[in-house]
Structure 1
């Protein structure tokens, strides 16, 4: 195996917060390097276990890996300022995914060191008196890492240099990939089964692994493996192996197990559960709530434990900077100062969940707004996902504009701080929007009669201007009434696993033939009923008491199919890094994302253009990173055989 993968045991800084007080914080003493002998001490084992949670930050919230899970799906395409990292993954003729450009390398480069740490803990932990319930956290993470890897690359090595699932003490320059069936049956399934048996029902510290979390990941693994065995569209796997289960089970058996485990999780939630309102799930002030079962944590309280600067984001791990990618350059919006007639920036960059740092690398497709979130009135999830109203905040800029009471905006009408400067409309208006590339808005936005805010309709969304991603927007309490630190990485946790997914996994398994006390429609309607409940109009910034649950439940088809499940998953988890895995698992990628619509990259581009992607069967696996191949002392033929087909 390449040297850098196992060069050392990294124990990064991490802090997991308590709901009640500092006594429940998972503490550690960060170091850059630990000698292998340290893993034969109780302190070393505990620090190693803590490092599992730290390693999540090098993958989740890492924007380039995030890009690899989103761009090229029906949720995202590349945006106006995208470079090759994003264009390559779009597969629309503007770039090519290859072993050098695939940003799935982030996962490959950061998973194996964590797996090796887990191997060391599992081997040495019992001898130094560490409880089996604590060692089980390492079993969980070994399975979790391998599950991510096998979905992304196909079969991957179980032998890191000292034998399968053994702690590796020295660099290895050779490697052999195991098959998909071996990875699932030798480590993912047994490790997660052991985790369910040995982990506590309640978290050891807030955010640590539990039986319920292990049930969810095992249910997802069973579901994914069932699809892999079934292989409805004959997508190739690698290393090539028969799609037969060594334990003699068929795909249907695994779908049923996924269903059963999900119902177990729903009926035995432990400390987790659904929140009453979708809005609260992703509200920054409500982070680390009972629906969030696993997350890559950050904090504004300390740079030491945050893992990144609190003032200037680096654009690299372990910063959480994924939310920047789909933030368009709203700071380009201009309004007119009536005192001197000059154009000024009326929406300033701010560390606010509606705003944040614009990088303009990823854009939602028009179909996200016209199809996925077609119902923006009854279903609260659109309002709880996107920033659609951009409000004036020039008074917070600390410049000569601080005391300017009003600016002139669309139709030369006055606007005050806090009022709408630009609105992305929910639907196409009855009156045609007048767009102009030379509009005083500076972004080619449109106007409607009598409105002081500039407007853009769903069909006017482009690679340059599109609703922002409120879900991943920054939230801080140290802004001091000003703009705060908008250039820093987010200090919010990045969500990885949510309790709500039990309902989706069970529903998908039911569509695939699993049976039990709840039908697929029953399960999805639990989620849809919650989506119909409003306590707050997020973009309107006003209280809203509404319960559209009955309407949403009644409109669910009597018989739902995989496409309906996938549409509901997109409404629930839009932009959270699930989508590529969902489309690959179900082999619906080409069907649902082979074409999309969006406007161009220039100011005033509001004409929808249909774009076709070329998604070939080999794209269902990401390439092994070129750096991995370059570091191995193997023949050219052996390296070629190591790489996934189609990427040579």
Structure 2
């Protein structure tokens, strides 16, 4: 086997989190190291388990892990302000990815640290006395969770951190033997998740805690992913080299069937979880921590201590939730004009879900708008994903002008559209005025007759100006009618696992040949998701109520035969920009086919095509 260098595993997570009495929240207390004796106490076990929830914040919402899971797919390319962190991962020749430049290190470090914490809890909890199997099952879930993330990202990884396989280690170790992919799955991931499914409760021990439904989701997804690995339809090499055979003697089809059976069992027995009535409500900030979310990396605006990050300014590190900055373009560049011709920033940086802090590191290719979300009328998911209308908010910056002049020298007022990204190419050609001409947009947008807002069509999306990502935008309740704290990390939870994915996992397993149950074919399962997507209660970017049910039209448009390509397209519509895409394309071995090319305008203002 290959030998690889790894960080010394002394203790575990930098921050330990302790349960506060009988509270249903997690009380955090700093701790730099754990020992076996500490894990033999109730305080140690609970502290170790609680730290496992905290370690999620080092990964999810972390902008560079977000980059690693999105850039270089068909969902994202590098933006105008990208540095090598983003150009390297684009895999388009703009940079060169190496072992030192891959930002998958953001996963590696906290995952292995947390695995060692889990080893300590599982190994020593019985000596503490009074620790239930359900609490230990939380540690088993997180150990499996981290190993599943690692094996998908790096291939085979180490099960021995220095004290033996799946043993708690307290000594510095600089090298480790790399286990094979089948060993990681069959020795660590599957046994832990099976135990977690059996021992975890239907309702979490604490708010956002691990549950039976969550464990079933990850067990089904791990079986599905391993089934693909065994099948290896495109003959892709694995590392370290290993035969594509299962130590337990099962073939890929067995695992696809297990994935289907477990996912549908979770759908039938959901506990307190289920789908939201509309797609809009899944990601609406005021509805965070809703019943569709099975796991999230939590944050709060009520306390910097519990948030793990400054509430006023973040620098993009540690516990900061700054993923939403990455695909936010520099909209504060937008200018409108006073009556005397003085330029005013008409859309100010604001801590609001449509806006937030811009970094312009990543952007959507044109195909996302024209192909992935081609149906923007019946399907609510485009509207529930992007910010496509940027509205004036200069009044919140204490600019007292009642109106400003915008496109076509027409007046606009606070709350009205300054810039609109059109759903499609307009019948009337967009006019792009010459430099210096009256009414010209300073960001290269155009005008249409009779409209006071500047416009950009899908073909004009560039690396510098593009629709923002509304679904993960920030939200604060302490803005007090002003702009709030847009330079802080988001205080929203970053969603990791959703109940809706059970339908996709079961459908994908069915496409791969799993025997299906009545009314739960691949098409039936996908249509549950599509029916929900057709239901509107609010037009997000129109900023108005829209009560409309297009579910019948959505489901009738679903192909009679579902393919993997269709499932991938549907997954992108459902989970666009949430960090799923790289793993979806790696699992299905579709990266080269799906993300091999894209269209995007240039990194100049205006319609300069690369």
TMscore range, shorter length: over 0.9
Residue 421 (str. 1) matches residue 418 (str. 2)? yes
Greater relative CO (CA pairs within 8 A, separation 6+): 1
Partner of 2:478: 478
Partner of 1:515: 515
Separation (CA, whole Å) in 1 of partners of 2:523 and 2:407: 46
Separation (CA, whole Å) in 2 of partners of 1:375 and 1:230: 34
Residue 382 (str. 1) matches residue 382 (str. 2)? yes
Partner of 2:547: 545
Q: Compute the displacement of 1:516 (Å).
A: 1.8
Separation (CA, whole Å) in 2 of partners of 1:453 and 1:3: 54
Q: Which structure 2 residue ranges, 5 or more long, are not aligned?
A: none
Deviations 1:75-111 (Å, cap 9, x if unpaired)?
Answer: 0000000000000001111101101100001111111
Partner of 2:502: 502
Separation (CA, whole Å) in 2 of partners of 1:239 and 1:589: 21
Q: Compute the displacement of 1:37 (Å).
A: 2.7
Cα distance 1:347–1:459, how it changes in 2: closer, same or farther (>3 A)? same
Partner of 1:559: 561
SS at match of 1:422: strand
Partner of 2:357: 357
SS at match of 1:269: coil
> Are the counterparts in 2 of residues 13 and 305 from structure 1 also a CA contact under 8 Å?
no
Q: Compute the displacement of 1:515 (Å).
A: 1.6
Separation (CA, whole Å) in 2 of partners of 1:372 and 1:324: 22
Residue 430 (str. 1) matches residue 433 (str. 2)? no
Partner of 1:241: 242
Q: Compute the displacement of 1:174 (Å).
A: 2.0
SS at match of 2:175: coil
Match runs of 1:165-564 below 5 Å: 165-338=166-339, 340-398=340-398, 401=399, 403-436=400-433, 438=435, 440-517=440-517, 518-564=520-566
Partner of 1:603: 605
> Are the counterparts in 2 of residues 230 and 251 from structure 1 also a CA contact under 8 Å?
yes
Residue 586 (str. 1) matches residue 583 (str. 2)? no
Q: Which structure 1 residue ranges, 5 or more long, are not aligned?
A: 610-648
Match runs of 1:105-116 below 5 Å: 105-116=105-116
Cα distance 1:539–1:251, how it changes in 2: closer, same or farther (>3 A)? same
SS at match of 1:32: coil
> Are the counterparts in 1 of residues 10 and 169 from structure 2 also a CA contact under 8 Å?
no
Partner of 2:571: 569
Instruction: Give me the CA root mean square deviation.
Output: 1.4
> Are the counterparts in 2 of residues 437 and 443 from structure 1 also a CA contact under 8 Å?
no
Match runs of 1:9-48 below 5 Å: 9-10=12-13, 12=15, 23-48=23-48
Partner of 1:640: none
Q: Compute the displacement of 1:16 (Å).
A: 10
Match runs of 1:110-125 below 5 Å: 110-125=110-125
> Are the counterparts in 2 of residues 397 and 483 from structure 1 also a CA contact under 8 Å?
yes
> Are the counterparts in 2 of residues 5 and 113 from structure 1 also a CA contact under 8 Å?
no
SS at match of 1:294: strand
Q: Compute the displacement of 1:41 (Å).
A: 1.3
Q: Compute the displacement of 1:3 (Å).
A: 6.9
Cα distance 1:407–1:182, how it changes in 2: closer, same or farther (>3 A)? same
Separation (CA, whole Å) in 1 of partners of 2:233 and 2:458: 34
Separation (CA, whole Å) in 2 of partners of 1:608 and 1:350: 31
> Are the counterparts in 2 of residues 14 and 306 from structure 1 also a CA contact under 8 Å?
no
Deviations 1:448-494 (Å, cap 9, x if unpaired)?
Answer: 00000000000110000000000110011011110000000000000
Deviations 1:614-644 (Å, cap 9, x if unpaired)?
Answer: xxxxxxxxxxxxxxxxxxxxxxxxxxxxxxx
Q: How many residues are aligned here?
A: 600
Separation (CA, whole Å) in 2 of partners of 1:173 and 1:581: 29
Separation (CA, whole Å) in 2 of partners of 1:284 and 1:482: 18
Q: Compute the displacement of 1:12 (Å).
A: 2.4
> Are the counterparts in 1 of residues 7 and 173 from structure 2 also a CA contact under 8 Å?
no
Deviations 1:174-198 (Å, cap 9, x if unpaired)?
Answer: 2100000000000100000000011
Q: Compute the displacement of 1:5 (Å).
A: 4.4
Deviations 1:35-84 (Å, cap 9, x if unpaired)?
Answer: 44312211011000000000000011110011000000000000000000
| TM-score (norm. length: structure 1) | 0.91
Separation (CA, whole Å) in 1 of partners of 2:601 and 2:27: 49
Deviations 1:375-422 (Å, cap 9, x if unpaired)?
Answer: 001000000000000000000103xx2x20000000000000000000
Q: Compute the displacement of 1:2 (Å).
A: 5.5
> Are the counterparts in 2 of residues 11 and 54 from structure 1 also a CA contact under 8 Å?
no
Partner of 1:8: 11
SS at match of 2:310: coil
| TM-score (norm. length: structure 2) | 0.97
SS at match of 2:32: strand
Q: Compute the displacement of 1:210 (Å).
A: 0.7
Deviations 1:115-170 (Å, cap 9, x if unpaired)?
Answer: 00000000000111211110000000000000000000000000000000000011
Separation (CA, whole Å) in 1 of partners of 2:190 and 2:238: 19
Separation (CA, whole Å) in 2 of partners of 1:539 and 1:587: 35
Separation (CA, whole Å) in 1 of partners of 2:62 and 2:346: 30
Separation (CA, whole Å) in 2 of partners of 1:312 and 1:577: 24
> Are the counterparts in 1 of residues 508 and 567 from structure 2 also a CA contact under 8 Å?
yes
Separation (CA, whole Å) in 2 of partners of 1:436 and 1:291: 47
Q: Greater shift after overlay, 568-577 or 37-46?
A: 37-46
Cα distance 1:559–1:508, how it changes in 2: closer, same or farther (>3 A)? same
Cα distance 1:480–1:437, how it changes in 2: closer, same or farther (>3 A)? farther
